[in-house]
Chains A and B, each alone.
Chain A
Amino acid sequence: MRRRVSLPQQVLYQLILASVALFVLLPIWGMARLAFDETLKGAPVTFTVWPTKFSLEAFRKAWQTPLQALSFLGLLRNSLIVSGGAALSAVVLGASMAYAFARFRFPGRQAGLFALLLGTLLPQVALMTPLYVLLTRLGIRASLFGLMIVYMAFTTPFCVWNMRAAFQAIPEELEEAAFLEGAGRLTVFWKVTLPLALPAIAVAALLTFLVGYTEFAIGWLFIERGENATLAMAVSAIMRQTLPWSQLSALAILMSLPVVVIFIILRHYLMRGLLIGGMED
């Protein structure tokens, strides 16, 4: 294990890695080549590796052309309201509950953990039918607020489960030291535990946010008017029409780009955030 690799080995390894990279990049390039192609009207009909005429026209169009009666920024604003609101509420409302699960041994804790985990594992579709009826009855189904509640219902169990793991990772001895100083449970939580868990909580919030940011199928079942559409919903609406593939590709790229950048920067934290807790307890 300790020895260095020889040159032929190095070449072999790099070739293997390059072929995996080809697998990774090929479909991405397949989309990019469409987005950067100015000449494309509708669907592509010839096989091209490079855009016939390179331009950023499709991006400009995607940015400027209103979709669902909203500009790109308007759609983005809706997306941020809905998924940001869902993530924020999930974190704020769930944090104390997560703390209770991490620190107390109350009766019914096992059952509660089981319910939380079940909520985490549910496919989003599993809540669609009852929420549709309940929110319609409340009269808020087709509003941004209603959609926010839907995304909250999808994500809160996951968020609580993750924050619980984050709190559990903080050694109890730190809190006990503060108790000896005479501080109450609330003070200790606020001054000691929460600041230490903050990075992990932020990751949980980000993962929660992304669920709403990329969701569109259920959104379209609930929302009726275009002005309440989110970015992902707008992209999906083009996907079903025969608009130029280049514009669709450009929009998809614009939408994914910030996420990709965040993921690449924070990949290790995000991975830990996803895997934390696993299945134990």
Chain B
Amino acid sequence: MNVKTYGIKAPWLRVALRVAAIVLVTAAAWMLRMRAVELLPIDYDEDDYLRAAQQYQVAIQNGDWGALTQLNYRPEHPPLAKLLYGLALVPLPQVSEIPDRPTSASPAASLPQPHLRVARTVAAASNTLEVLLLACLSPLAGLWLAIHTFTIKYTAQVMLEGLPAFTAALTVLTYEQSRRHAGVGERGHTGWLVISAVFLGLTAAGKYLYCVAGLAVLVHWLWQTYPTTKTGGQNPFSPAELKKIRFNPFHPLRLFARWLGPALLWGLLAVVVFVAASPYLWSAPVARLWDSLAYHGAYTQSQDVQGAGLPLWQPMVWLTESVPWHPGVFVVGLDAVITLLAVLGLPSLWRRRPLYALWLLIGFGFLLIWPTKWPQYILVLTFPLSLAAAEGVRARLWLPLRAWRRDWRRAAPATGRVMRRELRAALPWLAPGVIVLALITFYPLIFQVGIALTDFNTTSIKDGIQGGIGRELWKGVTGRAEPVQVDIFARSRPSSKTVRYVGIGTFLDFISAGGMGLLVFEGVWTAAAVGAQAALGVGVALLLHRPGVRFKSFWQTLFVLPWAIPEFVGALVWMQIFDPRYGWFFLGASFPETPGYPLAQTLAQWQQDPNLAFWVLLIAGTWMGFPLMMLAASAGLKMIPTEVYDAAAIDGANGWQQFRAITWPLLLPLLAPALIIRGIYAFNQFYLFYVLNPPYPLTTLASLSYYIFDSTGKYAVSAVINVFTVIVLILSLLWFNRVSRAGKGVTYA
């Protein structure tokens, strides 16, 4: 493997440092998990799995081995993890059985000790082993996994996550070993594959969900061994090969078998191991497995899941915040940073270790699709996520930093004199505008940071305006003020008539209490809105660009209308359609006014249902935004010389090929400004949300800030949100700049 050198030359020192890093990371992981084992309160479901473990404990202590095939409390989940907890309880005395309560019951008030602690420790130990595995791949990745708060929480409780997460990692690792020995005639290849199949079977017997790792392996396998001339075999679908069918009808089938066969066998072996590791299935495998699987399908539609009202993109929220529920338990909360680094590192991971990138992507896709959105599910991908985050550090921080340092040493001496002359010439031109802008735009922005550090609100408005903000800030900075706390979402305000110093507490609270979640919504909303606008706008522009289409300018003029209408009027016209009581759509949908239109009644609930409300917002947003895209695309299309198409037509390219190869790549740079402008509009969108009033998680930062200012009068909280927005905008601007500088070579070639 490619060991990173980080500038250290001596090989023995590198190895020693690496081993030390692995040991340190593993120790840190163990300590963090044991801390959580001690401190975490009892959570949902812990009583269930501890009860299951108790039953196994009793059976084993009584030597009643046959009972193991009949016991599996909470049979919707396979038994292996519960059995492991049961084994760990064997040395302990029996205590009265934990009562049987429904899954939706609130967390148990108390559970027997030390049983709870022992079972939790087993989970924590298996997860620490997972960290060890990852640290061997990359110590930094191990560190990320070691401090990932969601991973810590759900493997320091009696949940089912610890064991299958570990065996899933082993499945992928052993499979990777087999790929390394995949050369011609090398031994060990099959052995590693058999081991990985065994681990996949154990994973399935731990918790079904973690089999996405096996899915990733399968995809990687079939992709890598796809029979092409390059890998030795023949492409079974090439014309030359297909011709042979005439002489040997079994030829392509044989190729197929050679390709799919081993993977199929591997899967079968995993299934066998799965059944072998699930004693509960032995007496009636098919029926009991079916019941268990059917439960999960039904559960997605149950009141528990539907009633939670978590939107489609909720897993992204779980990934971008640290565990918000247990203050003081987790030493550091960098989950958001890990996810950010993972996003940055994913392209590089894809090039260097596609297997893990596949695991991450497939796991993420599954989380998005699967309707149940419990937070512990993200543990199926925290292993590759941490690896991607480590890759992000290497590819996006370490390597650029090294290159930058090299450039810095070579930089030419500054041309100071010329610059000073230019400044003197520019100064009189700059002065008036700079002064005005500084006073009315940039000074307020800085002042806002000051407001955000206090608890300024309507009650203390008089004091604040008469200089209270500055006074408290000075006190706070010089350490003479006792910081107070601000409750962000409470409707009540502090009763103090004077402004008080808070510090960055409100800001941190906002980030942990939903700020990152809002950012996820902002991302989803911006991408969806701009995507829909671009699709419709470019589509219409392409149609209007075809020679011979009649009434072009008439249609174009008509389509400009929504753009010309002020945004809040545009939102108003859609509200007059979708208003749940008086809207045009709903007046028509329930016509004639008789009960029994369930669909219309469901739809009329859109102001309570985030997923429905998203569609309403998207329809209105597309209506408002597509005209600018259409105009920009039309202008762009006119600039593409027709000769290019003539050449393509001679080469025999069809319409779609022409679009893919010519129109789109030439159009995209011309469309970029429009895409960016509409993206910023969507990110800052305010009136649409103000008028349509969708349910809470669907709000832009701007709308939330306004709402808090206007209806709760907590000016400081609204300032905190604004500061957050400005920071996000600055970061995205820096990123844009990097991207556009990289793209410049293409755009202005």
Contact = CB atoms under 8 A, between A and B. Distances in A.
22 contacts: A16-B543, A21-B555, A23-B623, A27-B576, A31-B573, A94-B437, A104-B429, A106-B430, A121-B733, A125-B705, A133-B456, A134-B444, A134-B447, A152-B440, A214-B568, A235-B569, A256-B565, A267-B564, A271-B628, A279-B672, A280-B740, A280-B748
Nearest to A125: B702
A17 interface: yes
Interface in B703-749: 703, 705-706, 709-710, 715, 718-719, 722, 725-726, 729-730, 733, 736-737, 740, 744, 747-748
Nearest to B722: A126
Interface in B281-311: none
A150 to B, nearest CB: 8
A105 B725 CA distance: 31
A97 B631 contact: no
A157 B437 contact: yes
Q: Chain A interface secondary structure, helix, strand, loop or mixed?
A: helix
Interface stretch (B37-45, B187-195, B682-690): B682-690
Interface in A166-206: 185
A278 to B, nearest CB: 3
B490 interface: no
Given A122-B726, A263-B563, A30 B584 contact: yes
Interface string B178-200: 00000000000000000000000
Contacts of A119: 437, 441-442
A17 B540 contact: yes
Contacts of B719: 129-130
A132 B457 CA distance: 12
B566 A259 contact: yes
A31 B419 CA distance: 58
B568 A129 contact: no
Contacts of A118: 726, 729-730, 733
A52 B132 CA distance: 75
A123 B566 contact: no
A-B complex: 9 closest residue pairs judged by Cβ atoms? A97-B433, A263-B564, A278-B673, A123-B684, A100-B429, A130-B444, A104-B426, A214-B566, A123-B702
B566 A213 contact: yes
Interface in B418-441: 419-420, 422-423, 425-430, 432-434, 436-437, 440-441
Interface in B619-676: 623, 628, 631-632, 635, 642, 645-646, 649, 658, 672-674, 676
Nearest to B444: A130
Contact of A249 (B441, B465, B576, B691): B576
A152 B435 CA distance: 13
Interface size class of B (residues with CB under 8 A): 35 or more
A245 interface: yes
Given A125-B706, A129-B448, A259 B564 contact: yes
Interface string A147-167: 001001100110010000000
B577 interface: yes
B637 to A, nearest CB: 11
Contacts of B558: 21, 24-25
A160 B433 contact: yes
B445 interface: yes
Interface residues of A, number: 103
B582 interface: yes
B102 interface: no
A207 to B, nearest CB: 11
B422 A105 contact: yes
Given A114-B733, A123-B701, A127-B722, 7 more contacts: A1-B642, A25-B561, A100-B433, A122-B726, A125-B709, A263-B560, A280-B747
Given A127-B445, A279-B673, A232 B566 contact: yes
A120 to B, nearest CB: 8
Interface stretch (B272-280, B384-392, B502-510, B544-552): B544-552
A121 B356 CA distance: 37
Contacts of B451: 129-130, 133
Interface stretch (A39-47, A54-62, A66-74): A39-47
B645 A1 contact: yes
A80 interface: no
Contacts of B635: 268, 271-272
Contacts of B722: 125-129
B469 interface: yes
A267 B440 contact: no
Nearest to B438: A115
A232 B570 CA distance: 13
A206 to B, nearest CB: 12
A10 B549 contact: yes
Contacts of B632: 271, 275
Interface string A233-271: 001100100000100110010011001101110011001
Given A105-B422, A123-B684, A126-B705, A99 B429 contact: yes
- Considering residues A3, A93, A276, which has the most beta carbons from chain B within 10 angstroms of its beta carbon? A93
Interface string A194-233: 0000000000000000100110111001000000000010
A273 B558 CA distance: 20
B740 A107 contact: no
A87 interface: no
A232 B568 contact: yes
B6 to A, nearest CB: 32
A117 B582 contact: no
Nearest to B736: A279
B324 interface: no
B437 A156 contact: yes
Interface in B517-562: 536, 540, 543-544, 546-551, 555, 557-562
B569 A252 contact: yes
A75 interface: no
A10 B436 contact: no
A97 to B, nearest CB: 3
Contacts of A112: 434
A45 B715 contact: no
B67 interface: no
A35 to B, nearest CB: 10
Given A100-B430, A115-B442, A136-B465, A126 B587 contact: no
A14 interface: yes
B455 to A, nearest CB: 13
Contacts of B690: 217
A28 B646 CA distance: 41
B536 A20 contact: yes
A31 B733 contact: no
Contact of A43 (B432, B582, B658): B582
B677 interface: yes
B577 A125 contact: no
A124 B433 contact: no
A49 to B, nearest CB: 9
Interface string A3-18: 1110000100110110
B419 A106 contact: yes
A82 interface: no
B92 interface: no
B513 interface: no
Contact of B432 (A28, A93, A260): A93
B588 interface: yes
B573 A27 contact: yes
A99 to B, nearest CB: 6
B177 to A, nearest CB: 46
A256 B443 CA distance: 34
Contacts of B429: 96-97, 99-100, 104
A16 B549 CA distance: 12
Contacts of A262: 564
